[in-house]
Amino acid sequence: MFNTLFLKPVRSMPAKVSMNVDGLDMDNIPQHVAIIMDGNGRWAKARGKIRTQGHKVGAETLKTIVRAADTLGIKAITAYAFSTENWKRPVTEVHFIMELLSRYLTSEIEEFKENNVQVRFMGSREGLPDIVTEKMDHAIEETKNDTGIILNLAINYGGQAEILHAVKSIAQQVADGTLKVEDIDAPVFENNLYSKGLPAPDLLIRTGGDLRVSNFLLWQIAYSEIWTTQVFWPDFTPDMLVEAIKMYQKRERRFGGLVQK
Ligand code: FPP
């Protein structure tokens, strides 16, 4: 028999999340998992649907995966929902994703609270519709005291833009006399990133088959283990999350050092 974990049913969330955790070491679960949710458009095209339908189903998949991650004991998920480069897409698709985000942050807020999910965001607010930033603020405020899994949504996010933002912020502190050049080190730099307060991801998952980082978490993934799959994001399942974690557990993390004997 499979060793299966079940979750309580929650309103408007998938009734249950089950997964086969056979062979999984529950004492070595990655604390922070980052996800590039790629392949929504191709998923839709393969079914004769318009691309945006893939994003809609992809948003549902994210809910399922957050619940599965929480059950497994993962402490934070950072999901790439909209990149600084995604503005280049057709305006109708951009509008659809903004609308989807806005709806998601409205419809899911009660579920997040019921499930003790803390919602955070990373990225620039510049150019985002007011309705989206208002919903973001609301989600932050409503879930700020939640102590369960952190869902960190990367929206209007780019790793290079984030690094430039941190550099400018540090330069300003030096100019203001509140920071000395000789005191700039990795922790200071990290405190100026959007991901301030979150540990670096242990595991980066990319769906959709491409083998690139796509400007995601450029500083933070320095030592992350990477797992990719051909599967398109809407088809990603809790069992695939377990599979990624099993791979992670087989890897030997050395952080530039030598194997511990
Ligand atoms: C990549 O698929 C996906 C995106 C650019 C957007 C991701 C958005 C979602 C999963 C839904 C919105 C999220 C929330 C939280 C509401 P793609 O369009 O690049 O797919 P393709 O490579 O097949 O074209």
pLDDT 10s digits, 162-192: 999 999 999 999 999 999 999 999 999 999 9
Pocket of ligand 1 (CB under 6 A): 37-42, 55, 58-59, 62, 81, 86, 97, 100-101, 104, 153, 208, 233
Helix ranges, 10-129 (H)? 40-46, 51-72, 91-107, 109-114
In a domain, 194, yes or no: no
Domain count, the chain: 1
Per the domain annotation, does 19 fall within a domain? Answer: no
What's the rounded mean pLDDT across residues 78-88? 98
Pocket test for ligand 1, best of 38, 119, 231 (most atoms within 8 A of CB): 38
In a domain, 5, yes or no: no
Note the pLDDT of residue 88: 97
- Asked, for residue 189, whether it belongs to a domain, the answer is no
Q: How confident is the model at residue 258 (pLDDT cuts 50, 70, 90)?
A: confident
- Is the model's pLDDT at 3 over the cut of 60? no
Neighbouring C-beta atoms of residue 173, cutoff 10 Å: 16
Q: Whose CA is nearest to atom 22 of ligand 1?
A: 39
| Burial of 10 (C-beta count, 10 Å sphere; 0-12/13-18/19+) | middle
Instruction: Identify the domain containing residue 130 by its residue range.
Output: 27-159+203-249
Q: Looking at the whole model, is its pTM more than 0.75?
A: yes
Q: Is 55 annotated as a binding residue?
A: yes
Q: Distance between CA 187 and CA 182 in Å, rounded?
A: 13
What does the mean pLDDT of the chain come to? 93
Regarding predicted confidence, which is higher, 261 or 157? 157
Domain contains 155 = yes
Residue identified by tokens 């083998």 is 211
For residue 8, is it within any domain?
no
Q: Give distance in angstroms: CA of 37 to centre of ligand 1.
A: 6
Please tell me which residue in 38, 115, 152, 156 is annotated as part of the active site: 38
Give the gyration radius of the chain's Cα atoms.
19
Q: What is the pLDDT of residues 113-123, one digit of tens each?
A: 999 999 999 99
Matching residue, tokens 């990655």 = 30
Look at residue 261 in the predicted model and tell me its pLDDT.
60
Domain assignment present for residue 213? The answer is: yes
How many Cβ atoms sit within 10 Å of the Cβ of residue 141? 10
Per-residue confidence (pLDDT) for residue 171, from 0 to 100: 98
Is 12 marked as a binding-site residue? no
The answer to whether position 167 is within a domain reads: no
CATH number at residue 78: 3.40.1180.10
For residue 1, pLDDT over 80 is answered with: no
User: H or E segment at 19?
Assistant: strand 19-20
